[in-house]
Amino acid sequence: MTEILSRSLRVIDDGLGQAKEDKVPFSEFENDDAIILLGDPGMGKSTFFQHAAKSNYMTVRDFLIDPDIKGSGPLFLDALDEYRTIASGRDASAEVAKALCALKKPKFRLSCRAADWFGSPDQEVLRIASASGRVVVLGLCPLSRDEILKAVQGLVPDPLVFLDEADAAGLGDLLGNPQTLDLLARAWGSGKRPRNKFEAYEMGVSELIKETNPQHIVRGIARPNPDNLRKAAGAAASTILLSNSVGISRTEPADALGYVKFAAVPHPESSDLDTIPNP
């Protein structure tokens, strides 16, 4: 937990309109009323919030369904970007601000993908929900070399060799993202050495689709053909991306909630799709 919360952050706006060059820890702003955490997909925003929160972690969507404070400490509201996807043109930030004001402006922390943060328009409306009128905007920095070495312990035989070989293959820039780091480490851990990004992702995906739960293996559950499973995952991911949806629903109705129906995925075997976790 300590290592996750010690990840470096860059100050995009200190709440007074100023950015800072130096990297800072999250603890430097723990007394602020309102904090926005930005980051690219896979950078670890949700994991960071889950570790930082006490009992007040929830997605923006869940919070807006039932606005409430369930414990002490600030509210940690995750994934504004996901709610924005299903908000059908509504002002997502304004909805969050309105709900927070109804709760008498508690301290809050809000995460969002960097590409889906609207900058000043979002920040200004959220100031209304901040007791101090200030909103600090932070960016989650890529993993440092030391953090990368610690993260791949147990995934690769020799973390230092892995780092050198990944750099030599032109993959060094991808290692700072926890999600792609895990994918690449699994590729190296398979005993093969990808020569480029395409091979690295191919090998990483091959490792990720393997069943690792011994209980499932013993009972013969969730063991479809790997090729079919890969095709099912591709069909599901493509459907979500092309329809700009938040996921695939096995229940009805799904459309109004931003999900696509299970039957819409172009894959013949539903048993393969049942194995795929909803992205």
Residue 62: closest CA among 34, 30, 96, 19: 96
Task: Give the model's pLDDT for residue 148.
Answer: 94
Task: For the chain, state the CA radius of gyration.
Answer: 21
Task: Give the model's pLDDT for residue 136.
Answer: 97
Q: What pLDDT band is residue 66 in, cutting at 50, 70 and 90? A: very high
Q: Residue 99: CB partners within 8 Å, gap ≥ 6?
A: 63, 64, 67
Q: What pLDDT band is residue 274 in, cutting at 50, 70 and 90? A: low
Cβ atoms < 10 Å from Cβ of 204: 21
Quickly tell me which residue has 């005993």 as its tokens.
Answer: 191
At residue 42, φ and ψ (nearest 5 deg) are: 85, 0
Is residue 216's pLDDT more than 60?
A: no
Task: Give the model's pLDDT for residue 37.
Answer: 97
Task: Give the model's pLDDT for residue 139.
Answer: 95
Q: Among 70-84, 203-217, 227-241, where is mean pLDDT lowest?
A: 203-217
User: Could you tell me the pTM of the whole model?
Assistant: 0.75
Cα–Cα distance, 203 to 23 (Å, whole number): 34
Instruction: Tell me the DSSP string of 38-73.
Output: EE-TTSSHHHHHHHH-SS-EEEHHHHHHS----SSS
Q: What pLDDT band is residue 50 in, cutting at 50, 70 and 90? A: very high
Task: Give the model's pLDDT for residue 279.
Answer: 45
DSSP 156: B
Instruction: Tell me the DSSP string of 87-150.
Output: STT--HHHHHHHHHHHTT---EEEEEEGGG--SHHHHHHHHTT-TTS--EEEEEPPPPHHHHHH
Q: Among 90-99, 112-121, 172-181, 193-202, where is mean pLDDT lowest?
A: 193-202
To the nearest 10 degrees (0 to 180), the angle between helices 178-189 and 159-168 is: 100
Cα–Cα distance, 11 to 134 (Å, whole number): 14
The more confident residue out of 199 and 211 is: 199
Q: What pLDDT band is residue 11 in, cutting at 50, 70 and 90? A: very high
Average pLDDT, the chain: 83
248, 239 contact by CB (below 8 A): yes
At residue 265, φ and ψ (nearest 5 deg) are: -75, 125
Q: What is the pLDDT of residues 187-196, one digit of tens each?
A: 788 777 777 7
Q: Among 112-116, 204-208, 228-232, 265-269, where is mean pLDDT lowest?
A: 204-208
Is residue 63's pLDDT more than 80?
A: yes
Q: Among 59-68, 128-137, 196-205, 246-255, where is mean pLDDT lowest?
A: 246-255
Q: What is the mean pLDDT of residues 149-167?
A: 91
Residue 222 token pair: 């969730």
Residue 33 token pair: 């009323």
Q: What pLDDT band is residue 127 in, cutting at 50, 70 and 90? A: very high
Q: Residue 67: CB partners within 8 Å, gap ≥ 6?
A: 99, 100, 102, 103
Task: Give the model's pLDDT for residue 278.
Answer: 46
Domains of the chain: 2-140 (3.40.50), 145-208 (no CATH), 214-275 (no CATH)
Cα–Cα distance, 17 to 276 (Å, whole number): 44
29, 89 contact by CB (below 8 A): no
